[in-house]
Structure 1
């Protein structure tokens, strides 16, 4: 394999630094003891992390985001798993159309989806409903679950499954003991990726949340328009830590390279 030259390595390093620099700055500012967003600071302090506990709106928004992300990711998995099994293992009329239908939210901008959901919810009288908010998030995160589970289903060796059936195992036993463990990394990775995307979703959520269902990204956006104190940076740092932890877990479970390049 040909090694990258000095120019290529330097370019890649600069790109990585350019991408990571804003995140690093946010984390550093989150530990400032100052009253405003300043860098460098006189030292490190947990002052603004403690201040989050005195702002109940952030706590309730965080709980809303966790509940919303867990519910929508779980329901998306329940929908995408049987669809991926059917598309990846069977040949039937409309198979490609069904696959494209499940992946279609990826090509629709979140802004367009947000306006469409807002209009639809207003028409059916569902504005402010947490249940319909979960349904909206399901639509935008199901493609992530579908893609990973379908990759696992398409790449599995079905000869082991056939061997189990030839030895007397029924279809349910074969699925539970053979198929499910083989595609479990894709299922787990898809759920985690869907959870992360639902938890971090902002653009669409702005249009469909209500005062009772405001998520953490929406609350952060609203707070940022009203104040410039470092508590915004401390909340952002916590979101970065949670997202980074979830991505590390996703890499350990499934492998980020398999997600990014789509390999089986």
Structure 2
């Protein structure tokens, strides 16, 4: 394979800088001692990070988002895994309709979904319920889970399963010892993608959260409409650091290349 030339390397470098520049600016602004969002700053200060402790709504919203994202991703996996195995390996009436149904939230704008959920929840009298907020998030993250699981199932080597069955392994043992380890990259990647999308979801969540179930993106949006101080940047910087740390731990423990591209090297 021919290596990238100087022009390609410059282009890729510029793309990476273009993507990372907003994150770097947010982190720099988070350390400003000034009262407003300014860059360049007049020195560095931790005042806006300490200010988060005086605003407990951000802390409770963060834990709401983590709990919501964890539940949404886990329950979505419980739904998407058997569906992906059935769709990817079997032929049955309604197979295409089931696949289209599970992937359909991808083509519906979040604004439309938010209004629809708001109207539906109001009709059945569950507005502001954390359980129904979780169900709404499951619906919007399941397509991301499905896409990675279907890709893993499509690349599954069936001959190994047939060999296990011919040696007397029952279906559950074959799934647990053969199938599951082979699709772990898709499961892990799908769960991470679902978790991130649930954690970051703003547009739909604005319509269906209540004061008791406000998520971090919604809280940040609400705060940004009331104030222009750099505390928003400090909260964003902490989220960036936590996300980067989590990705680093996953990479050291498992390997991001195995999760994202299914490399088993």
Q: What TM-score do you get using the length of structure 1 for normalisation?
A: 0.91
CA gap 1:114/1:180 in 2 versus in 1, 3 angstroms: same
Q: Gaps (5+ residues) in structure 2? A: none
Q: Which deviates further from its counterpart, 251-260 or 48-57? A: 251-260
- Corresponding residue number in structure 1 for 2:186: 186
- Corresponding residue number in structure 2 for 1:40: 40
Q: Which deviates further from its counterpart, 3-12 or 197-206? A: 3-12
Q: CA deviation at 1:254?
A: 8.2
Q: What TM-score do you get using the length of structure 2 for normalisation?
A: 0.91
- Corresponding residue number in structure 1 for 2:24: 24
Q: CA separation in 2, counterparts of 1:246 and 1:146?
A: 23
CA gap 1:22/1:257 in 2 versus in 1, 3 angstroms: same
- Within the alignment, does 1:70 sit opposite 2:59 as a pair? no
CA gap 1:191/1:260 in 2 versus in 1, 3 angstroms: closer
Q: Deviations over 1:127-162 (max 9, x none)?
A: 000000000000100011111111111111111111
CA contact (8 A) 2:185 2:259 kept: no
Q: CA separation in 1, counterparts of 2:253 and 2:179?
A: 17
Q: CA separation in 2, counterparts of 1:236 and 1:19?
A: 16
CA contact (8 A) 1:80 1:146 kept: yes
- Within the alignment, does 1:95 sit opposite 2:104 as a pair? no
Q: Number of paired residues?
A: 264
Q: CA deviation at 1:75?
A: 0.6
Q: CA separation in 2, counterparts of 1:54 and 1:30?
A: 16
- Corresponding residue number in structure 1 for 2:58: 58
Q: CA separation in 1, counterparts of 2:98 and 2:259?
A: 21
CA contact (8 A) 2:186 2:262 kept: no
Alignment of 1:244-263 (within 5 A): 244-248=244-248
Q: Deviations over 1:205-241 (max 9, x none)?
A: 0011011100000000000111111111000111222
Q: Gaps (5+ residues) in structure 1? A: none
CA contact (8 A) 1:151 1:262 kept: no
CA gap 1:233/1:225 in 2 versus in 1, 3 angstroms: same
> Which stretches of structure 1, 4 residues or longer, exceed 6 Å deviation after superposition?
250-264
